[in-house]
Amino acid sequence: MTYDSTLNEGFLVFKADSTAWSFRPSKKGLFFSDVKNEVAHAFINTVDNNKTKYTIKEYSDAVRAHSLQNIIGQTHKIISDM
């Protein structure tokens, strides 16, 4: 795959078979491809599937860390200023 980022509102991803997917930013800045009319592909990445990769303690710790980050705010700025 290759991509072309010269579009003003997003970018194109080209597959080996010369088809292209268009990605554009959502209101929150996350890029997505509108696949309403796309029947050949499905991208599914569920939380339950990801949880199986970790122990119960690791998952519980991650949930608590995420909750704490929401309370504190942008911790990456605090850490980078140290």
pLDDT at 57: 92
Q: 4: which 2 tokens?
A: 């072309």
Given pLDDT bands bounded at 50, 70 and 90, which one contains residue 1?
Answer: low
pLDDT (tens digit per residue) in 25-82: 888 888 888 766 666 666 666 777 777 888 989 988 988 988 888 888 765 555 555 5
Strands 11-14 vs 2-4: parallel, antiparallel or unpaired? antiparallel
25 DSSP β-pair partners:
31
Distance CA 79, CA 82 (A): 5
Between 60 and 9, residue with greater pLDDT: 60
Q: Domain spans of the chain?
A: 1-25, 52-82
